[in-house]
């Protein structure tokens, strides 16, 4: 299976065949909600796909922001990924421990930073382990590469853009949180946040897009799910969620079915639900 900018997914079979390819860099982007009480870095240290580097979305972020894992400045992003041996001519494969959960966030981050040759491992570490493929606790030591981030602003929305969209309704907003959190009947995993959703947004829980083995659902199933959620695939879409992670699962799915310019609201509900005075529906 060729890896191209129009193919944002690769299979475990493809990665197994390309583990030793000199141009392939593998990233473990595992991250979990605070309620999961899991330590992704410790799990990486215990076992990971050979050659994988750990990408900490809470550190490769704007750590001065009060909101979780907001996009970092391009200079910081470039510095961190250069040290991972990622640069010109590199093909990046991102995976996570849950199957398809946090890896799409890092896939989106690279695209925001102007790097397009990046794909997500379909099924992630969950499927890789189920198939009995090799694992290691050895940490690779790549040589630094040249990487220059060039921010692709159309893939990102901030609070001001989301407020403007309330007036113009130019973009459809799709929320990846659970139905209970969207409706405001289920508590948020982060304390102090209001309950509900951005007015006018639709709900498509990201878990509905993922099979039990951690792989994304088929093209036709994805199209049906977005259609059932009331999304017109011919019109612009912005995705949102709790903190900008599962929103990227929706963005990845949309890229697979033909909309690779989907924007993500970076602050998501961690920002909207924390800022006093913003309109909220429930």
Per-residue pLDDT at 5:
41
Q: Residue 4: pLDDT above 80?
A: no
Q: Using DSSP, state whether 256 is helix, strand or coil.
A: helix
Mean pLDDT of the chain: 95
Q: Is the dihedral of CA 21, 8, 42, 64 positive or negative?
A: positive
In angstroms, the CA 64 to CA 239 distance is: 24
- pLDDT per residue as tens digits for the range 124-147: 999 999 999 999 999 999 999 999
Confidence of residue 106 (pLDDT cuts 50, 70, 90): very high
At the topology level, CATH places domain 9-151 in Oxidized Rhodanese; domain 1 (3.40.250)
Confidence of residue 113 (pLDDT cuts 50, 70, 90): very high
> Would you kindly state where each structural domain of the chain is located, as residue ranges?
9-151, 154-272
Nearest to residue 207, comparing CAs of 240, 244, 178, 239? Answer: 178
Per-residue pLDDT at 2:
41
Rg, Å, the chain Cα set:
18
- pLDDT per residue as tens digits for the range 18-40: 999 999 999 999 999 888 889 99
In angstroms, the CA 201 to CA 230 distance is: 10
Helix axes 247-256, 103-112, angle to 10 degrees: 70
Nearest to residue 124, comparing CAs of 42, 204, 32, 35? Answer: 32
How confident is the model over 197-205, as a mean pLDDT? Answer: 98
User: Is 154-272 CATH 3.40.250.10?
Assistant: yes
CB 116 within 8 A of CB 173: no
- pLDDT per residue as tens digits for the range 59-105: 999 999 999 999 999 999 999 999 999 998 899 999 999 999 999 99
What are the DSSP calls for 29-97, one per residue? -----GGG---HHHHHHH-B-TTEEE--TTTSS-TTSSSTTPPPPHHHHHHHHHHTT--TT-EEEEE-T
Judge whether 241 counts as a catalytic residue.
Answer: yes
Strands, sheet with 52-54, edge to edge from the N-terminal-most edge strand: 9-10, 118-121, 91-95, 24-28, 52-54
How confident is the model over 195-206, as a mean pLDDT? Answer: 98
Q: What is the dihedral of CA 12, 32, 144, 252, to 10 degrees?
A: 50
Shared fold status for 9-151 and 154-272: yes
How confident is the model over 154-177, as a mean pLDDT? Answer: 98
In angstroms, the CA 55 to CA 25 distance is: 12
Nearest to residue 28, comparing CAs of 10, 5, 3, 45? Answer: 45
Nearest to residue 31, comparing CAs of 119, 124, 115? Answer: 124
Helix axes 219-228, 247-256, angle to 10 degrees: 120
């Amino acid at each position: 299976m060729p890896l191209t900018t129009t193919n944002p997914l690769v299979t475990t079979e493809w990665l197994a065949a390309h583990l030793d390819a000199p141009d392939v860099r593998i990233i473990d982007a595992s991250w979990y909600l605070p309620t999961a009480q899991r330590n992704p870095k410790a799990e990486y240290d215990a076992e990971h796909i050979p050659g994988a580097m750990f990408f900490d979305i809470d550190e490769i972020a704007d750590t001065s922001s009060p909101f979780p894992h907001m996009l970092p400045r391009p200079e910081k992003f470039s510095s961190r990924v250069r040290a991972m041996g990622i640069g010109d001519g590199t093909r990046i494969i991102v995976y996570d421990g849950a199957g398809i959960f946090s890896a799409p966030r890092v896939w989106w981050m690279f695209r925001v930073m102007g790097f397009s040759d990046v794909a997500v491992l379909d099924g992630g570490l969950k499927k890789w382990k189920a198939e009995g493929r090799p694992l290691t606790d050895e940490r690779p030591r790549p040589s630094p590469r040249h990487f220059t981030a060039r921010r692709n602003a159309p893939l990102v929305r901030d609070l001001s853009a989301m407020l403007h969209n309330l007036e113009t309704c130019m973009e459809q907003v799709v929320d990846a949180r659970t139905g209970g959190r969207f409706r405001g009947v289920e508590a948020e995993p982060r304390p102090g946040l209001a309950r509900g959703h951005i007015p006018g947004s639709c709900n498509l829980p990201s878990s509905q897009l993922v099979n039990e083995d951690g792989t994304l659902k088929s093209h036709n199933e994805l199209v049906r799910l977005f259609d059932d959620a009331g999304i017109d695939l011919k019109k612009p879409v912005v995705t949102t969620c709790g903190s900008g992670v599962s929103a990227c699962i929706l963005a990845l799915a949309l890229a697979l079915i033909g909309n690779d310019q989907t924007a993500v609201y970076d602050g998501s509900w961690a920002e909207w639900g924390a800022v006093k005075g913003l309109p909220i529906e429930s």
